[in-house]
Structure 1
Amino acid sequence: MLLVNEKDLVVPGQVLAENEYYPGRGTFKEDNRICSSFVGLVSVRNKKINVIPLQSKYIPKRGDVVIGEITDIRFSMWGLDINSPYTGLLPASEVFGKDKRELESVFDIGDVLLLRVVDVDEVKKVKLGLKGRGLGKFRDGILVYITPTKVPRLIGKRGSMINMVKEKTKCDIVVGQNGVVWIKGEAGMERIAEKVILMIDREAHTSGLTDRVRELLDRLTGVEPDIQVEESEGTEKPEIPESEDFEEGSDESEDVVVSPESEDFEEGSDESEDLEVEPENVKVDSPGSESMEEGTDTPDAEEGDGEAGDAEVKDENNSER
């Protein structure tokens, strides 16, 4: 039996459900009861109960795509701040392979990179890598930090929320799964995008957020809102339904990362130079997809062309005879 409703605010130890429900993230089971582990919002998906914490730090897991800032250069690796209690480590072998080069000649302290979490060991040692589609170094721009669990809300369903911010501000925006957002555009538009993103972070648990974000963007960018129904006609203006639910706990949007589109992004490894960056919000491909793309030659098609050419020669010979 469910004892709470979707999006209810709960506290640690509060009983959420009994018997036929299953514990998810942010919950624990005691006897036949499911209790909350955090102060957060309830999310129920197929009999599975999750509690999305209102405030949290990023806990790395393998395969995540994150934005990190280099804070330390060691003998054979870089140390990065990834908005987590745990420091990310980028080994030189992930960049150079077996070659030996000066680390400072490639990445220096303060550089901002888009990376993939390669591995997390039992003591939370986070190994990072640059091999993959669109991974590398950012140039210029600003960083904005939000609660990692609210990243799906910032992105929205099928990227609708973040695309609206990008369209209104004309900025390039990349969202890391660790709650770090990179913004690049005109100075004034960067600050507008930052203000809107922080508003989404603060009000992610509220309803009607999409409409408020649209109104704020129109006001800050000086765009007049579209009026679809005139009051003089004596008709009531229809209510616009909230187009996006609070999907922080959904699996569909957890891996969504907005890839960079501008020239202000440098890919960080030779292996990823031939890979094109998707123009919109993309889901990070698994390592296996790279090998599929590398083998794009079509020898069968070439052989088919050769056979067609032989057939033409034979037809000409027959006509001469």
Structure 2
Amino acid sequence: MPRTVMPGDTITREARRAGDNVVLVGDTLVSSAVGLVSVSDDTVSVIPLSGKYMPRADDLVVGMVISHTSQAWELDINAPYVGFLLATDVFGRDFASHADELTSKLALGDLVAARVANFDRTRDPLITIDDRDLGKIDSGELVKIAPGKVSSLIGRQGSMIQAIETATDAAITIGQNGWVVVSCDSADGLLRAKRAVSAIEQGAHSQGLMDRVKSALARGGD
């Protein structure tokens, strides 16, 4: 389970680079936010427990189509930036803006499961669906949680999300940006799965979380 830190907490004195929400004080990396410690290669960052998602390359995200140009869709990915999904990523290399209508593939309000292909803070992130199990999400309800609580929803080695899906027969798509799509053939299963996700949103990183989730799953639809 990732370590929770407060502003001013020492993260490490190891020789690593300071990433998002981390500052170097002398020879010590210190947190500047309330969040979870994340280590990637030689960089240490803190993922805030509240606020907007900060894109990172290779992250799985759930995005919503909010506009389009003749060459790309613009996606809301719960970030300070708009995600751009190129038309060639969906239509293929034979895409022609004068002949292919983007709304025939993705319309306003559509949800997609995608990955952040590239992001360097100098421009809006490039989004891709060119991978297995990515693309338009045809069914389900969108539930929003804080990006910093995604790890609690997944659980250690996927234990939490597996428990929810098994108990409800729901299929749950989790974006690192905190957007979660819950799909279930049963109205009761859908309600219980959404209730469990909400329980994690309200009590992530606190004691007794699994008990609260089990309680949410045990209650029938009401």
TM interval, shorter chain, is 0.7 to 0.9
Contact 2:114–2:129, Cα closer than 8 Å, also in 1: yes
Query: For 1:66 and 1:145, how far apart are their aligned partners in 2?
Result: 12
Query: For 1:18 and 1:131, how far apart are their aligned partners in 2?
Result: 37
Structure 2 residue 19 is matched with structure 1 residue 16: no
Kindly tell me: are residues 102 and 197 of structure 1, through their superposed partners in 2, closer, same or farther at Cα, counting changes over 3 Å?
same
AA aligned opposite 2:179:
V
Contact 1:21–1:49, Cα closer than 8 Å, also in 2: no
Q: Is the deviation greater in 141-150 or in 209-218?
A: 209-218
Query: For 2:167 and 2:179, how far apart are their aligned partners in 1?
Result: 20
Number of residue equivalences: 212
Offset of 1:16 from its aligned partner?
Answer: 2.5
Contact 2:53–2:78, Cα closer than 8 Å, also in 1: yes
After TM superposition, the score normalised by the length of structure 1 is 0.59
AA aligned opposite 1:190:
L
Q: What is aligned with 2:198?
A: 198
Structure 2 unaligned residues grouped into runs of 5+: none
Query: For 2:162 and 2:122, how far apart are their aligned partners in 1?
Result: 37
Q: Which of 94, 99, 102 is the equivalent residue of 1:98?
A: 94
Offset of 1:21 from its aligned partner?
Answer: 8.0
Contact 1:7–1:205, Cα closer than 8 Å, also in 2: no
Q: What is the correspondence of 1:16-165 to structure 2 with a 5 Å cutoff?
A: 16=10, 26-40=21-35, 51-96=46-91, 97-100=93-96, 101-165=100-164
Offset of 1:70 from its aligned partner?
Answer: 0.6
Query: For 2:38 and 2:120, how far apart are their aligned partners in 1?
Result: 29
Query: For 1:43 and 1:118, how far apart are their aligned partners in 2?
Result: 20
More RCO (CA 8 Å, sep 6+): 2
AA aligned opposite 1:98:
D
Offset of 1:24 from its aligned partner?
Answer: 5.7
Contact 2:22–2:29, Cα closer than 8 Å, also in 1: yes
After TM superposition, the score normalised by the length of structure 2 is 0.83
Structure 1 unaligned residues grouped into runs of 5+: 1-5, 223-321
Offset of 1:43 from its aligned partner?
Answer: 8.2
Q: What is aligned with 2:218?
A: 218
Residue aligned with 2:114, SS: strand
AA aligned opposite 2:119:
V
AA aligned opposite 2:153:
L
Offset of 1:52 from its aligned partner?
Answer: 4.6
Contact 2:83–2:126, Cα closer than 8 Å, also in 1: yes
Kindly tell me: are residues 179 and 31 of structure 1, through their superposed partners in 2, closer, same or farther at Cα, counting changes over 3 Å?
same
- Which runs of structure 1 show a deviation greater than 3 angstroms over 4 or more consecutive aligned residues? 6-9, 17-26, 40-44, 48-52
Query: For 1:194 and 1:37, how far apart are their aligned partners in 2?
Result: 32
Offset of 1:36 from its aligned partner?
Answer: 2.3
Query: For 2:90 and 2:36, how far apart are their aligned partners in 1?
Result: 41
Offset of 1:121 from its aligned partner?
Answer: 3.9
Judging by fraction of residues, say which structure has more strand: 2
